[in-house]
Amino acid sequence: MICKDLKDNSFKKNLRISYCSNKKIRKITQGTKIKKVNFFYFYYHILIRLFLEIKMTVSKDIKFNFLSADELERYQKHLILKEIGKEGQLKLKNSSVLCVGAGGLGSPALIYLAAAGIGKIGIIDNDHVEKSNLQRQIIHETNTIGNLKIDSAKDKINRINPSLEVFTFSKRITTDNALEIISEFDVICDCSDNFGTRYLINDACLILNKPLVFGSVQGFEGQVSVFNLNANSPNLRDLLPESPLKNAIPSCAEYGVVGVSTGLIGILQVNEIIKIILKKGKILDGQILIFNLLNVEMKKLHLKSDQANKGIKNLCQFVDFYNQNECSESNNEISRINASDFNSLYKAKPNKILLIDVRENEEFSASAIEGSISIPLSNLNQKSDLEFIQKESLIKEVFTICKSGKRSEEASKILSKFKIQSRSIEGGIEKVQKIL
């Protein structure tokens, strides 16, 4: 195709270039007749142009067959392992992994994927860093609070290993974009935090024949497995044929999680990814590994594959699965109130209002609305706090507030779970303070 274009006169006519001849700069533009052209310079510029185009759009088929001096030094502990060596490190360099989620599981997973030398890393997440994330989401730092998680994660990866390609997607994974994004990567790492997304990733991987490394945590317990490694491998639907949300099985982050459990499971996910790429060792294909850190217990369960669960041809088949939020309670409609209407109520009936500020204690200390009480979102499900709110709700109207409205909505969802009616203030304290 390139040779054909080079011989095509119309290609020469339409090409806009500058070239040097007889120590003078001349310009060829469309429609100009080419005369007395030094063709050495002409083809030189064409080759430069083609090189730049190739550089801007590197083919995913291009493979590296060497390690740089920096890489030889960086990965020397890998290179002396007989299971990895130079050949294995090149496999890692030429591989690509997509992490869906840059939170509790995604943080350790991304750090160790980068350190291991995975050549191309993708991150998809649309959340922002919050202080309550830092207890377990170790890729983020105090100075990145408020930033997009993908930006915070990319910066950390670049500091760990600047030679990698990092692609970020500031969006939720949906039926509209899942196949397009996932198709660009070799292995998919599920670090999501809700069942709707998990089913969507699973089904997209089935359609595209991509191996999926599954991880989940709750409290002190975590699970890890590998789905869809080959034609006979089980997938998420073999583990959970029906969404737990439909059967009202608790599966929410509201129950809390010890930070180290996300670290352990995230690292185990990377361990499975490395073995998949290297084609070494025993992979958790058809098995699910369960850890209980509180009791220091570990067990491995076998998972059977059912062909009936492989018949996913189109993501539109199971839209109901994908549209579910993190918890069944999250689907409940919550009441909201805008800042102006709250201002009117606050001034008219201040003694009939229970205003719960769900920001962190430090944020509350810096600025707060008079009469509000501080119960951080992370503490909202404590028995003593819930009993207090329940008692007060009998004589007062309950409102939740945070910085911008996001955390207060989560707080109202939690309260609704305990049959406490509340209203989330839209726009948060930033909007209210402008009015009061």
pTM comes to: 0.64
At 364, which CATH number? 3.40.250.10
Please tell me the predicted confidence (pLDDT) of residue 248.
44
| Position 63 in a domain | no
| Position 404 in a domain | yes
Residue 354 and residue 313 in one domain: no
Share of the chain above pLDDT 70, in %: 79
Total tally of structural domains belonging to the chain: 3
| Position 28 in a domain | yes
Residue 336 and residue 289 in one domain: no
Residue 399 and residue 431 in one domain: yes
Residue 231 and residue 317 in one domain: yes
Q: Are 315 and 197 in contact (CB under 8 A)?
A: no
Last residue of one domain, picked from the residues 295, 314, 329: 329
pLDDT (average), residues 147-155 = 95
Distance CA 273, CA 116 (A): 11
| pLDDT reading at 247 higher than 60 | no
Distance CA 9, CA 32 (A): 12
At 192, which CATH number? 3.40.50.720
The residue count of the chain comes to: 436
| pLDDT reading at 138 higher than 50 | yes
Residue 281 and residue 386 in one domain: no
Give the structural domain span for 395. 332-435
Please tell me the predicted confidence (pLDDT) of residue 419.
83
| Position 62 in a domain | no
Residue 109 and residue 202 in one domain: yes
Residue 422 and residue 301 in one domain: no
Burial (0-12, 13-18, 19+ Cβ within 10 Å), 35:
exposed
| Position 401 in a domain | yes
| Position 19 in a domain | yes
Instruction: Report residue 334's pLDDT band, with 50, 70 and 90 as the boundaries.
Output: confident
Q: Are 396 and 370 in contact (CB under 8 A)?
A: no
Last residue of one domain, picked from the residues 33, 56, 79: 56
Instruction: Report residue 82's pLDDT band, with 50, 70 and 90 as the boundaries.
Output: very high
Per-residue pLDDT tens digits for 276-322: 999 999 999 999 999 999 999 999 999 999 998 998 888 987 776 68
Residue 17 and residue 132 in one domain: no
Residue 305 and residue 380 in one domain: no
Encoded amino acid at 396, one letter: K
Q: Are 109 and 269 in contact (CB under 8 A)?
A: yes
Number of other CB atoms surrounding residue 343 within 10 Å? 17
| Position 321 in a domain | yes
Per-residue pLDDT tens digits for 352-398: 999 999 998 888 999 899 999 999 987 887 888 988 999 999 999 99
Distance CA 166, CA 156 (A): 11
**Mean pLDDT in the chain?**
83
Please tell me the predicted confidence (pLDDT) of residue 241.
86
| pLDDT reading at 238 higher than 70 | yes
| Position 64 in a domain | no
Please tell me the predicted confidence (pLDDT) of residue 251.
43
User: Which residues, 6 or more positions from 315, have their beta carbon under 8 angstroms from its beta carbon?
Assistant: 175, 178, 179, 200, 203, 204, 207, 322
Residue 361 and residue 273 in one domain: no
Residue 324 and residue 350 in one domain: no
Instruction: Provide the greatest CA pair distance for the chain.
Output: 94
Distance CA 116, CA 135 (A): 24
Give the neighbor-by-neighbor strand order of the sheet with 373-374. 335-337, 423-425, 397-401, 353-357, 373-374
Residue 315 and residue 340 in one domain: no
Better-predicted residue by pLDDT, 357 or 35: 357
Q: Among 38-52, 131-145, 294-308, 413-427, where is mean pLDDT lowest?
A: 38-52
Distance CA 225, CA 315 (A): 23
Last residue of one domain, picked from the residues 329, 349, 378: 329
Distance CA 144, CA 119 (A): 25
Q: Among 37-41, 77-81, 377-381, where is mean pLDDT lowest?
A: 37-41
